Structure 1
Amino acid sequence: MGKEFLELFEQWADSYDSSVSGHDIEYKEVFKNYEKILGEVAARSNGHVLEFGVGTGNLTESLLAKGLKVTGIEPSPAMRKIAEEKLAGRVAVLGGDFLSFPEVEPFQAVVSTYAFHHLTDEEKAEAIARYGNLLAPGGKIVFADTMYESAEAYKEAITDAVSKSFHNLAEDLQREYYTTIPILTEILETNGFTATFEKCNDFVWIMEGEKR
């Protein structure tokens, strides 16, 4: 699952926090309202939170600030090292990914930001089905990620990036597994979740699924 992107994150680890601050013009809109997005994901979470794609620990800090218990899952050793230093032992950051992770004590929320697009749609469905089996009624999935209202909107985003000579962004949009809200809605509802979506910027939406 997404292991084809692991080398990218090993190389990106040292400059990730600079990237999300908006210094890269190509990705400025992708990370617009970054801190607000993290805060909103944290605000929608409760209880013991299982966080996927911890990265350098930015969302984790927002979750801790809300007083939540967090168990983190991160496949990149370089990212994990930075997160562990930043979080100073307040959170266990374990190796693993959305589909393969150590057994942990019961959790009430599954959260992630800027990471779910590393899974194909088939893998997304497999992951959500697994969380559905692990979460009790009322448990939540709260993911913030790039997604689109339709396949046409996705194609338009690529065309727009090319027209602006944002070649890295255009390549990113075509290389990774970005999906659409209708597909995610069907996956969530099939696995016993309600589904709501809120737009955060031109790229990122918050997807919230509550277990029925």
Structure 2
Amino acid sequence: MSKDFTELFDEWSERYDETVAGGDEEYREVFDGYDRILEEVASRVSGTVLEFGVGTGNLTEKLLRRGCAVYGIEPSKGMREQALKRQFDMVLAAGDFLRFPLVPEKIDAVASTYAFHHLTDEEKEEAIAIYSGLLGAGGKLVFADTMFEGEEERREIEEAARAAGHVKLLNDLRTEYYTTLNVLEGILVRHGFEVSFYKLNRYVWLMDATKASEEG
């Protein structure tokens, strides 16, 4: 990936669950409805799931409760340590969206929450091309992350963060690789996916993509 976020996430790992629960005022809207968002992602996949950005294991837990077999990929050692404390029946490995150990069985879905924005648009396309090669017809790609309907919405949200004095959030919005729906849709279509988007809170959209058959 273009930036190495592992040190940041190592430092954040012990406070992450407090943040997503609303403990940080600046990011409260970003994580509004966090549990519901994770449940929505988990409800749209089944079978063997490759999960990127496992973090402390919150999405993993929901996937396992639904009977999925989970292969988790997490670049941060601190986050992996937090997830391992929960003693889930899963396979957890170091890696990221672009570089990860091969899964020794057929993958039915790829899932992720609050992580895909760490890739540039070019890297997003590289990653989706990889997942397209791993998934068969009907395979699912379900991500929830901060993204924008378009550039107008990006500007409105950045201005709202500035007006609220949310300096850290504004810096994130301006320096991380949050994409727009039309850019992401174009990438997915080029790599054989049919996609729908659903807005889950002010910042987060859900991307539900299905690998089409070769005939489709």
Hey, what's the Cα distance between the residues in 2 that align with 1:14 and 1:22? Answer: 15
Question: How do 1:72-151 residues align onto structure 2 when only pairs under 5 Å count?
Answer: 72-86=72-86, 88-104=87-103, 105-151=105-151
Hey, what's the Cα distance between the residues in 1 that align with 2:141 and 2:70? Answer: 14
Hey, what's the Cα distance between the residues in 2 that align with 1:149 and 1:51? Answer: 25
Please list the CA deviations of residues 94-132 of structure 1 after superposition, one character each: whole Å capped at 9, or x if unmatched: 000000000112210000000000000000000001101
Aligned residue type for 2:128: I
Q: Which residue of 2 aligns with 1:156?
A: 156
- Tell me, yes or no, if the aligned pair for 2:112 and 2:144 is still in contact at 8 Å: yes
Determine whether 1:61 maps to 2:58: no
Please list the CA deviations of residues 142-191 of structure 1 after superposition, one character each: whole Å capped at 9, or x if unmatched: 00000000012112211110110011100111121000000000000110
Aligned residue type for 1:98: F
Question: How do 1:199-210 residues align onto structure 2 when only pairs under 5 Å count?
Answer: 199-210=199-210
Q: CA deviation at 1:24?
A: 1.1
Hey, what's the Cα distance between the residues in 2 that align with 1:144 and 1:136? Answer: 21
Hey, what's the Cα distance between the residues in 2 that align with 1:97 and 1:2? Answer: 12
Hey, what's the Cα distance between the residues in 1 that align with 2:163 and 2:66? Answer: 41
User: Could you tell me the TM-score, scaled by structure 2's length?
Assistant: 0.96
Q: The residue matched to 2:31 in structure 1 has which SS?
A: coil
Runs of 4+ with >3 A deviation: none
What is the total number of aligned residue pairs between the two structures?
211
User: Could you tell me the TM-score, scaled by structure 1's length?
Assistant: 0.98
Aligned residue type for 2:124: K
Q: Which residue of 2 aligns with 1:174?
A: 174
Aligned residue type for 1:52: F
Alignment gaps of 5+ in structure 2: none
Hey, what's the Cα distance between the residues in 1 that align with 2:93 and 2:155? Answer: 36
